[in-house]
Structure 1
């Protein structure tokens, strides 16, 4: 261990900083490295009109059969950047897209210039500012400002500010609806805003946290939160012990993993050069059982099999030993995650179970839920109980109602609704989460829930048809869709339903906790 500690000190020395300084004026040095970057074979597509990223991806991948690696689009703009893995794919896309008619518009496509490295760009600007005769005020955000910006405000004031923000959002949304429904025969009714529901737990409530492995402003290895995005020119990481929204178990996990990385011969991942190995730590905790699940993300592109086995054994030995040292906290489940550039169509980075249990469990509304490493679970367990009861009250399901749980995760919403309706159909793209949902239904003796593994956008219409087909003639039909979507949201085709008389949508944005 003594040698490992010396190695840990050496890698925080001046050689790495000097290498950084040598590249400070070259914003495009990353293009010359022997590794893939999506900026090399990039095109710009213009005259897209109003579009969603999802429908553009479907056009490029499914209809036009273009093998793209990434799409980037500025908000509210009529153009997008599309990246490819080879010059042949890039040129093929330009040939197909330039002059292509889509949604009534003729598209233009051409080679796009690579973007400057945002971190190098920021350093160059700071280097130039340092040469100016006038002082420049530069203040980096703190980790509290980056992750919980309202924490310094009394909770009652936080609720007031969130209510005000929500009211403004509703006004804006109503204005947008009026613009696109100018021919509507009736004026749009006002939305009813019922206020922000306070959380029963306001500190230490996050049951899942993803920590970055990096360095602070002093060059010390830290496991914590990034103070800004790479796109904004920031790679600095700050410790998390003082943050009020993290449970003590998550803080313990960050501290102990930080010690491991500092003493390991393997480096933290450097997003600037795509070098190093330790990249992130995902911590899941249970408020009921006090279990702690750790998932260690390793950048493996520059490691051989021997190196990987050494890292895995290092993790197992470290946490197996620590389990007997601190009785208050124990790692009950340990996973390795291979975090690198994902292949086309790969939804998540692959994981491998190393140590302890394969799942943790938690409770909502007297229901017990098994949670796998990659599954979605409401981040505030105590507030989730209130959230579900509010949504059920809003939806007003009847004993003859069928509920569609879109993006069902491990089935927590489905099981909450199950006692208030005829049946629930859930769909989720993460197959292990669907396995959890099926297990949770059986564990809680719920027999009126059925779950599908797949893309929600591909399943919604068939689920609606299944319900209609299974409804006997003369039997009352009531169909409720509960949606807790990812940031990209639902596709337009999914929101539209030809049988609108029987479908009612309830979106989870209604109640903000």
Structure 2
């Protein structure tokens, strides 16, 4: 449930629409008074889009993206968010004002879309999930509070297993995932069965570092079960009815630098006159702490997240000064904050992608090393959280692709250019696109520092730049030289937007695709869309999976990074000369570590698994 701050004026309102709007809000509050704390958020001096919500019925099969385009682009409705349960033919749409809500009701009720006549009605606000869950637990447990998970249970559920067993467990999980994916792919594209006989799965590569590997952490400021102020990890999410925070001292995946950062910030918050943030009422100020540390240089960056909706400008200046003074005077400590930022984490404005940061102490960046290259990292840029495993991850991606001096790599969602530049010495040219401007500035700086001259970076939405990158690559290709255009994607956990998939599919010059996924379960939708039969929506021949390898970037957790090499199914003509695809090389000799050896390669074909060795 997202809220935006808006004060309701106490003076007499003369505008008729404003008067009606205030009456509607008051009526809604009165209606929900009897429901208790589950609707108490409506009485706060804050605006919430839950007040101006409608329900749209009879939508039939629809995608959130196309429905959003209908509302915003076609009908010009100023909505704030869409909420829709899976596999349902209705959706809730939220607005900022009563006027916007009424206009939407009038526009959508009876509107014909995709052969369906829509029905729109006003919808009541949702119950506060935290209060709703608490009430349900109190009733179920006769008022006795439910036992909370520990910090290790919440963040490192596999920590009690020997690391060999963790790797084995993840290998089984990835094998089953690829098996199910293959079966689902055959249902969507029966033609794939002729080509995708077996996906060569090369097992899970263990992490060289099992403990203390995380170079980035985002801690929450809150209170533990005893009511003490703690900087650590939330034991559950707000929607699950939990706001309790536990300390990080015993967590095996955190380096000592990060633990010190959490404890020092905890000391600062406990002695400050400013309060820790409380999501149960949106009270307080200290909300979160992001910590980035470099194993290669020892640098430590802190980004203090402050909820400023209830602070005036002079109080914000006072808090920034307090932060700066505290870390300037940290003496006789085992670690030092080398870079300090202030981040305003109040509710974002319409169209705002990230919460802004302000540099207040030390250097503006930290530096880390992957594949023998130095990378400058800004506060908001993406960088792999396990640096040593990232070395292995990038090498495995290079091995799967087998690039030559005729290869051009298109890195989509390139971040600070780590994968892009790691490929550079193996390719004719590398190109990257990223929507975060600071990340692209870092990528360009990283190329310059490392003396890489065959790279080019673009700032913007990848959907808009894929075709431009392909045109640039083909234009610069020497006449008579073979074209080897490879796309690489390493998207966020939710996967690539469907527009990126369709853009890649329609770019016929791209023959191979390497997909790096930190959440293969979520990315499975992308895998299916890449391999669907050619259609009006998915133009271009499908991409079929050929081989895969997983890398354990996250020891002690259930997460695994998976790399899949896709090759485009081409229509063969009599005069075609098809170059053989490079064989995947995953020799264990390329890595030197004492961790358990990864399982041997397996071939996956539906229910059958056969060793290829």
TM-score normalised to the size of structure 1? 0.89
1:398 to 1:111, Cα distance in 2 relative to 1, 3 A: farther
Structure 2 gaps of 5+ residues are 1-32, 518-547, 553-613
Query: Equivalent residue for 1:29?
Result: 40
Whether the 8 Å contact between 2:61 and 2:89 is mirrored in structure 1 is yes
2:373 paired with 1:367 = yes
From 238, 252, 256, the equivalent of 1:248 is: 256
TM-superposed CA distance for 1:181, in Å, is 1.9
Q: Cα RMSD between the aligned structures?
A: 2.3
Distance in 2 (alpha carbons) for counterparts of 1:443 and 1:290:
19
2:434 paired with 1:428 = yes
Query: Equivalent residue for 2:85?
Result: 74
1:201 to 1:54, Cα distance in 2 relative to 1, 3 A: farther
Greater Rg over alpha carbons, structure: 2
Whether the 8 Å contact between 2:367 and 2:377 is mirrored in structure 1 is yes
1:224 to 1:24, Cα distance in 2 relative to 1, 3 A: farther
Task: Give runs of aligned pairs for residues 309-348 of structure 1, distance below 5 A.
Answer: 309-322=317-330, 324-326=331-333, 328-348=334-354
Partner secondary structure for residue 158 of structure 2? coil
Distance in 2 (alpha carbons) for counterparts of 1:184 and 1:102:
33
From 122, 140, 146, the equivalent of 1:129 is: 140
* Cα offsets for 1:162-182 (capped at 9, x unmatched): 111112222222232222224
Whether the 8 Å contact between 2:207 and 2:551 is mirrored in structure 1 is no
Whether the 8 Å contact between 2:368 and 2:374 is mirrored in structure 1 is yes
From 284, 307, 327, the equivalent of 2:315 is: 307
Whether the 8 Å contact between 1:405 and 1:481 is mirrored in structure 2 is yes
* Cα offsets for 1:391-422 (capped at 9, x unmatched): 01111222111111111111101110101111
From 83, 95, 105, the equivalent of 1:84 is: 95
TM-superposed CA distance for 1:241, in Å, is 0.5
2:237 paired with 1:234 = no
Query: Equivalent residue for 2:558?
Result: none
Whether the 8 Å contact between 1:24 and 1:120 is mirrored in structure 2 is no
2:160 paired with 1:149 = no
TM-superposed CA distance for 1:275, in Å, is 1.1
TM-score normalised to the size of structure 2? 0.75
Distance in 2 (alpha carbons) for counterparts of 1:487 and 1:94:
35
Higher relative contact order (CA 8 A, sep 6+): 2
Task: Give runs of aligned pairs for residues 99-118 of structure 1, distance below 5 A.
Answer: 99-100=110-111, 107-118=118-129
Whether the 8 Å contact between 1:54 and 1:491 is mirrored in structure 2 is no
From 51, 69, 82, the equivalent of 1:40 is: 51
TM-superposed CA distance for 1:33, in Å, is 1.5
Deviates more, 1:157-166 or 1:360-369: 157-166
Deviates more, 1:29-38 or 1:264-273: 29-38
From 440, 443, 452, the equivalent of 1:437 is: 443
TM-superposed CA distance for 1:468, in Å, is 2.7
Distance in 1 (alpha carbons) for counterparts of 2:325 and 2:231:
19
From 375, 383, 389, the equivalent of 1:377 is: 383
Distance in 2 (alpha carbons) for counterparts of 1:236 and 1:452:
42
Query: Equivalent residue for 2:416?
Result: 410
1:391 to 1:23, Cα distance in 2 relative to 1, 3 A: farther
Whether the 8 Å contact between 2:185 and 2:192 is mirrored in structure 1 is no
1:295 to 1:460, Cα distance in 2 relative to 1, 3 A: same
TM-superposed CA distance for 1:505, in Å, is 1.3
State the 4+ residue runs in structure 1 displaced beyond 6 angstroms.
Answer: none
Distance in 2 (alpha carbons) for counterparts of 1:416 and 1:151:
32
From 209, 215, 226, the equivalent of 1:218 is: 226
Deviates more, 1:292-301 or 1:117-126: 117-126
